[in-house]
Amino acid sequence: MMAVPHEALPPAATAGVIADFLRNDRGEKRHHPAPPLVATASIDGIAESVCIIRYSSESMFGVLTEPAPETDPSPYLVLLLNAGGVRHIGPNRMWADVARRWAAAGIPSLRLDLCGIGESDGAHNLDIPDLYHEQMIEQVESAMQAIRSRLGFHQFVMVGLCAGAFWGFHAALRSREVRAAILLNPRLLCWDPEADRRRTLQRVARGLLNPEDWMRVVRGGIQREDLRRAVRTVLRGFPSNHSRQVPTKPDTLDQAWRVIRDHRTRLSFLFTEGEPLLGEMEEQGQLPAETDPFVQSIRIGSHAGHTFRPQWAQKLAQEVIDRELAALRSGASELVSGPPIR
């Protein structure tokens, strides 16, 4: 229950015992017809239905949320991507809230589980390199193709957090059909197998110079397991047997910003202060210019956390998403600065 989502393993043995117990003939037999599978539900005038998308020999599970039939049709579909190993409801149920709120306003969405996550097929023990594998971006592209052929949408908005932000970023670079991407706290923009070890070393080095951290160790504020995990990360790093990772980035991200401008895609980053990628982009001068008409970087306070767990942080994150979707619906192409996010 307390494992990191992408590292959690379902208790198969326990589930097997429960299934065997339920299958056993105990007492009087009761024959009840199985209820039909309900694939579509109506909630406050909007419709939600299960959407299965094939990728290679596996199936991806999604929830399609559509406006009421009398609503003016939207040219856009919002693709809400997994936040790492978090299933399609999104971090703190944010994706479900966003999907239903905007369906009521006329914009449909698909909350998608990529293979190995949530309700989709695939081995459910993805590690960090798996989440940044080329196949994950290919699955997003397969979903876009399925949406084109089944639903007729040719313009997309990507919304993702952490690894999902990474997938959305690359989808925007590869396709002009991505009209906007809202990327929350990406940890990487291109695969770097040394990133986690390097960042841990930097934190350890800073801690060695910080008397307050040493006092926390003495007082027990830092747990032994936290120290062990840091040491294991430094010594082990990432495995190097993943041959199809996304290529490493160029010397700067200027080329990426040029592609985004050429595509005329609205690209919005939302960073919590203290996120490692934010600090690295600052140090290397790779943040987009404040005057860039298509790429913007927004920051909120460090207490928001990586997954925006506090309710006030969720509200701010949804405010950014709402602002972008409202701008797209109004027909705006270039970014228009709104009130500051705090």
- The per-residue pLDDT for 282 is 92
CA–CA distances in Å: residue 310 to residues 91, 122, 278, 319:
11, 32, 20, 14
Q: pLDDT-derived band of residue 1, with 50, 70 and 90 as boundaries?
A: very low
pLDDT at 198: 83
| Cβ-proximal residues to 154 (8 Å cutoff; 6+ apart), any chain | 75, 148, 177
pLDDT band (50, 70, 90) for residue 69 = confident
* pLDDT at position 311: 94
Q: What is the mean pLDDT of residues 240-269?
A: 76
Q: Which of 17-31, 98-112, 228-242, 320-334 is most confident?
A: 98-112
- What pLDDT does residue 237 have? 47
Residue 328 has pLDDT above 70, yes or no: yes
Instruction: Identify residue 297 by its one-letter amino acid code.
Output: S
How buried is residue 325: exposed, middle or buried, by Cβ count under 10 Å (0-12/13-18/19+)? buried
Instruction: Give the DSSP per-residue string, 43-56.
Output: ETTEEEEEEEEEET
Least confident of 168-172, 232-236, 330-334: 232-236
Residue 208 burial (10 A CB sphere; 0-12, 13-18, 19+): exposed
Top mean pLDDT of 12-26, 89-103, 288-302 is at 89-103
- Counting residues of the chain whose pLDDT is more than 90, the rounded percentage is 56
Bigger pLDDT: 177 or 32? 177
Asked whether 95 and 159 are in contact (CB, 8 A), the reply is yes
Residue pLDDT, tens place only, 13-58:
777 778 777 777 554 444 444 444 445 777 778 999 999 999 999 9
The whole-number pLDDT of residue 304 equals 94
Of 130 and 35, the one with more pLDDT: 130
pLDDT exceeds cutoff 50 at 101? yes
- In this predicted model, which residue has the larger pLDDT, 135 or 196? 135
Per residue, the 3-state secondary structure of 102-170, as one string, reads HHHCCCCEEEEECCCCCCCCCCCCCCHHHHCEHHHHHHHHHHHHHHHHHHCCCEEEEEEECHHHHHHHH
25-29, 51-55, 167-171, 303-307: segment of lowest average pLDDT? 25-29
pLDDT of residue 163: 96
Spatial separation of the C-alpha atoms in residues 203 and 224, rounded to whole Å: 16
Question: Distance between CA atoms of 36 and 62, rounded to whole angstroms?
Answer: 19
More confident residue, 290 or 8: 290
Selection from 141, 115, 140 nearest residue 126 by Cα: 115
Q: Which of 9-13, 44-48, 98-102, 253-257 has the lowest mean pLDDT?
A: 9-13
Tell whether the model's pLDDT for residue 88 goes beyond 70: yes
pLDDT at 33: 47
Q: pLDDT tens across 196-218, in order?
A: 888 887 776 665 555 665 565 55
Q: Is the pLDDT of residue 236 over 50?
A: yes
Domains of the chain, CATH where assigned: 36-189+250-329 (3.40.50.1820), 195-236 (no CATH)
